[in-house]
Structure 1
Amino acid sequence: MVTMKRLAFAALVQVASAKVWLAGVNIAGFDFGCGNTNGDYSSSSVTAPLSSQGHADGLGQMNHFARDHGLNVFRLPVCWQYLVNNVLGGNLDGNNFAVYDQLVQGCLATGAYCVVDIHNYARWGGQVIGQSGGAVTNNHFASVWYQIAAKYAGQPKVIFGVMNEPHDLNINDWATTVQWAVDSIRNAGAKSQMILLPGTDYTSVGGLIPTGSASALSAVHNLDGSKTNLIFDVHQYLDSNFSGTSPDCSTNGVANLDTLAGWLRSNGRQAFLTETGGGSTSSCYTNLCSELDWMNYNADVYLGWIGWAAGSFDTNYELSETPTYSNGVWTDRGIVANCVAGKFK
């Protein structure tokens, strides 16, 4: 009996110490050129989160998050058009890519994982990749991913985020597009880094199964037929319509996460919550912290979370996670201190 009690106690201690592997913050700004969900582009709206470009100190923010909180992943969203200077099917632009690479190299210098995220909603100028009559082809998309992956093939801590928030498309055709991207990344020499697979319905946690995304994307595979390090990419906000447009959180989203967790376990797969967040409000301190607490106890199927968003957002933004800097001291937004970083400690 004593032995059984000790074993039970040991099991409880193991559960109580559970924690996701990865947690961090989105460092936004290069994506501001994609100002809507239609894949349209405005070069004048790009706001590189780099002090060298006269904007926010994204490198300082990442150093602070990593050093002072132990956060170990940053997502670095960027418009596809920015990378190729708005030439569909073109080469990476030497000047633009060099500026973006400053952010990537600064991220890597912290020791963290770095998600290179094309932030185009599965579109270029309103045309769905591989759909919409064929104006924007799978080959166009595969080309940019081949070039990006070739640049970072030797960086094991670079994660390839195939696409931010696809929506309103044929999911089976989209799975084919994702396969083209995966093939290109692996053919470019990035044989083992993580690749994030995005479904439709804005990659929502609650939509992955009902839209058929989970089933369609399950067929995506590596060159050798394996599915190692092919991770489902999901987002979840906690306001009343899950849109991420309100600073208040009316739900903790656990029901959606739990439904998906069951599917992931049954199918031997994992997911990564690469966007979640809320305002620095009492309702979000409760609900976002609850969501992340739950994830810590389900770390077998969820790699972790990345809060939205810091970088070039100022503190007037409803979901700002941008710290302020004064006299050598970084001061965090409450939602970061309490939840995004607080639940990873």
Structure 2
Amino acid sequence: MSRPDDQAFLGNVHEGELALKEDHSLPRGIVLCSMIAFSVIAIGRTTEAAERTTAETRGSARPDGVRLTTTWPTPIIRQGETIVNTIDVYNAVAGHKIRIQNSNHGASYFTTSFSAAVQAAVSAIPGLSQTPINTQQMEITLTAGTYKIDIDQTVTMQGIPGNIDDAPWAPGTQLQTDWILASAPSNGAPVENGFAVDSKWITYTNQAASPGANNQGASSDASQGPVPEEKRESAVSDARWSLLRSAPSIGTGGVVTFEIHKTNYALTSPTTLHIAVDSASTATDADFTQGLDASVSAALNRNVTYDTHTGTLTFSEKAVFPFVFSMTAASVSSNKDYVLAISNSHVGAIDVARAGVRLGTLSIPPTKPLLGLNEASGEFGVGSHNFKYTYPGKDRLAWAAAQGFGIIRVPFIFQNVQASSSAPLNEAAMRPLDSVMNECAIQRLVCLLDLHNYGSYFSDASAASQGLPGTVGVSNARLANFWAQIASRYKDNPSVWFDLMNEPNKQSALEWVKTSNAIAAAIRATGATNKIVFQGTAWDGAWTWSRSGNAMHILKAYDPRNNFAFEAHQYLDGDGSGTSPNCVLGSGAERLDQFTTWLQKNGLHGILGEVGWAANDACTVEARALLDDWRSAAASATAGGYIGLTYWAAGPWWPNDYMYLAEPRPFPTGADPAQLETLKKYLPTRK
């Protein structure tokens, strides 16, 4: 959240899923579209759309019907990247129908067929059904209610001919792909104007290029000068490798899947990578029904070979990633960790070198549930402390402790403490944050140190631009190094928990977990033992935890010390954005279900990093239901569940009339607002 007068400066300032409407769902400009004859070119945000979005953020009613939105921030998609197109359904009538189509040249170059992608999205929501119209067009019959249908598609570059270029005016070679949403001819649901089309360009290596040409980033026309980052094709040095595993722990007979991922570069010749059991592993191959060599060998195909003597994998230029192999645990009688490592990449660099699985039971340090507040104001702007942003003072931390709260969440942003991605932390800018962290220890408050940047970071080449870590020109390694500097600074203060990123939303869950694991490894390399808190993507919503892909992919988060938790956010208004004073009937009792079930099923610890509601009777009823669910699902020594909750929001720079404010005004002598009174009824006992 941000002060209203700073919203234009910060851009994506709204929590939950409102920013989806503010950014991703806006039509990309003036479009010419037809289901039959025209493709769509996206060129900018229209005034009409901006005015509509402004009205929506003030709480204006959105029209019933459906809209098409996307999580992808640029016109370009590269090999191995995943785009999520969302059909945003609002107040649907059961039985109404829509049609979704994927067309143009690029539509054929995804790893799964469009029909399979739609089928997977539809099957995630009870009551929906689909009927194929043809291979690239599906009709979906809606169920009643408000929900989102997320269609995930990953680009493959295999078999793309080199003689098609849908954007000849731009450097490189591009294929256009369009997604078009329409009402069905019979019993059709209304499609919101301006939200019916999304277009992207798949950029790929021209297979007709001369053999041996290895500067894939070069323009075919040198007179055009340097190629902008978003326009150029990736180079050999852009390749990034990651090793992931499917689950944090398995027992006797349990199966873990290891995945080797490559992104940002399409291979033009065979390349090699080494894999081995890491020296940190306390388990061995003997703890599985078949060891590493046999498991890898069983997964080979004609495009991947393996030398069991050296542990070297060789991938041909036609290899499809991820390369996946599985291992089955034999008899598990005690807790051990089996850790694999990849090294010696022939091209590019390794972002995530290690992945480990616990054979037995996770031994996450026990923590009693803590209730508290977001002390927000550190994310309000970029500039000087106490001018563009501020942090809670000692008086606020002492007040929070006196209320009985045991945890606070303190947002900050990287632009205020670092000049560029290669720079050290700014000592003068860090000192006010140091004071907050030290006072948390004095007051016996856990401090969730929250990097509040919505999944973005500095570009490698320039501090004037930002992008998604893990993409070309924005390295995971540099964001990981930023967190390593933070960890080195606070590793002797166990009150500080590292909340890696607030609400990533433009990258897929799979890409975000790679970034998260790179950060976690860098933090642990400093010797820091502080708890690491992982977030999901898609605005980190608890109520969308499954269909966003978080349930599958964020489970792959890996902390070598096993001192970690997962964070989700949940608001109770219509779209879950935390921007309306109206709460949906039943939302308090239902919206945590997906995240809670996931924690309990996998024996994991969770934190509700943001929850909020307005001060009215209807919202208070829903808030109590949510807090009841949170309290009843508390983690224990033997069961997964919740260890924390921080309400949004408190903080020194909120206006007195902010509808979700949970602190007295004047501070601290004013009357408790209704939200604060409700929270106090759920305070655990502090010792």
Distance 1:106 1:324 in 2: 23
What is residue 580 of structure 2 aligned with on the other side? 246
Contact 1:272 1:304 in 2 (8 A): yes
1:46 and 2:388 correspond: yes
- Output one character per residue of 1:11-49: Cα deviation in whole Å (capped at 9) or x when no partner: xxxxxxxx961100011111112xxxxxxx566873203
What is residue 32 of structure 1 aligned with on the other side? 380
1:105 and 2:438 correspond: yes
Instruction: Give the C-alpha shift of residue 332 in structure 1.
Output: 2.5
Instruction: Give the C-alpha shift of residue 95 in structure 1.
Output: 0.8
Contact 2:391 2:410 in 1 (8 A): no
Matches within 5 A, 1:128-207: 128-131=468-471, 134-191=472-529, 193-207=530-544
Secondary structure (helix, strand or coil) at the match of 1:241 reads: coil
Distance 1:173 1:237 in 2: 25
Matches within 5 A, 1:1-345: 21-33=369-381, 41=382, 46-50=388-392, 58-67=393-402, 69-84=403-418, 86-124=419-457, 125-131=465-471, 134-191=472-529, 193-223=530-560, 228-251=562-585, 252-300=587-635, 301-311=641-651, 312-325=653-666, 329=669, 331-338=671-678, 340-344=679-683
Secondary structure (helix, strand or coil) at the match of 1:318 reads: coil
- Output one character per residue of 1:251-306: Cα deviation in whole Å (capped at 9) or x when no partner: 43332312322222221212110100112222222111221122111112111210
Range with bigger deviation, 72-81 or 94-103: 94-103
Runs of 4+ in 1 over 4 A off after TM superposition: 41-45
Contact 2:383 2:389 in 1 (8 A): no
Distance 1:129 1:333 in 2: 40
User: What's the TM-score once normalised by structure 1's chain length?
Assistant: 0.82
- Output one character per residue of 1:42-61: Cα deviation in whole Å (capped at 9) or x when no partner: 668732035xxxxxxx4322
Instruction: Give the C-alpha shift of residue 208 in structure 1.
Output: 1.9
Instruction: Give the C-alpha shift of residue 126 in structure 1.
Output: 4.7
Distance 1:112 1:308 in 2: 17
Larger Rg: 2
Distance 1:195 1:155 in 2: 13
Distance 2:603 2:628 in 1: 22
- Output one character per residue of 1:63-96: Cα deviation in whole Å (capped at 9) or x when no partner: 11211x2100000000111111x32232110111
Secondary structure (helix, strand or coil) at the match of 2:556 reads: coil
Secondary structure (helix, strand or coil) at the match of 2:553 reads: helix
Distance 2:546 2:608 in 1: 15
Contact 2:379 2:452 in 1 (8 A): yes
Change (3 A) 1:332 1:215: same
- Output one character per residue of 1:87-106: Cα deviation in whole Å (capped at 9) or x when no partner: 22321101111122222222
Distance 2:543 2:378 in 1: 28
Contact 2:411 2:451 in 1 (8 A): yes
Contact 1:113 1:157 in 2 (8 A): yes
- Output one character per residue of 1:118-138: Cα deviation in whole Å (capped at 9) or x when no partner: 00001135511112xx22211
- Output one character per residue of 1:171-190: Cα deviation in whole Å (capped at 9) or x when no partner: 21211100011011111121
Contact 2:545 2:551 in 1 (8 A): yes
Contact 2:508 2:549 in 1 (8 A): no
Contact 2:544 2:594 in 1 (8 A): no
Contact 2:440 2:495 in 1 (8 A): no
Secondary structure (helix, strand or coil) at the match of 1:101 reads: helix
Identity of aligned residues (%): 28
Contact 1:64 1:330 in 2 (8 A): no
Contact 1:315 1:321 in 2 (8 A): no
- Output one character per residue of 1:130-180: Cα deviation in whole Å (capped at 9) or x when no partner: 12xx22211111111001111111111211000000002132121110001
Instruction: Give the C-alpha shift of residue 325 in structure 1.
Output: 4.1
Distance 1:267 1:290 in 2: 24
Instruction: Give the C-alpha shift of residue 202 in structure 1.
Output: 0.6
Contact 2:570 2:576 in 1 (8 A): yes
Distance 2:549 2:407 in 1: 29
List runs of 5+ in structure 2 lacking aligned partners. Answer: 1-366, 458-464, 636-640
Residue 186 of structure 1 aligns with an amino acid whose one-letter code is: R
Secondary structure (helix, strand or coil) at the match of 1:248 reads: coil
Instruction: Give the C-alpha shift of residue 342 in structure 1.
Output: 2.3
Contact 1:20 1:344 in 2 (8 A): no
Residue 534 of structure 2 aligns with an amino acid whose one-letter code is: L
Contact 1:310 1:323 in 2 (8 A): no
List runs of 5+ in structure 1 lacking aligned partners. Answer: 1-18, 34-40, 51-57
Change (3 A) 1:341 1:275: same
Residue 487 of structure 2 aligns with an amino acid whose one-letter code is: A
| Higher relative contact order, chain-length normalized (CA < 8 Å, sep 6+) | 1
Secondary structure (helix, strand or coil) at the match of 1:100 reads: helix
Secondary structure (helix, strand or coil) at the match of 1:316 reads: coil
User: What's the TM-score once normalised by structure 2's chain length?
Assistant: 0.42
Distance 1:194 1:233 in 2: 12
Instruction: Give the C-alpha shift of residue 212 in structure 1.
Output: 1.5
Distance 2:608 2:407 in 1: 12
Secondary structure (helix, strand or coil) at the match of 1:173 reads: helix
Measured on the aligned residues, the alpha-carbon RMSD in Å equals: 2.1
Distance 1:247 1:103 in 2: 31
Residue 290 of structure 1 aligns with an amino acid whose one-letter code is: A
Distance 1:144 1:80 in 2: 8
More strand by share: 2
More helix by share: 1
Secondary structure (helix, strand or coil) at the match of 1:218 reads: helix
Secondary structure (helix, strand or coil) at the match of 2:646 reads: strand
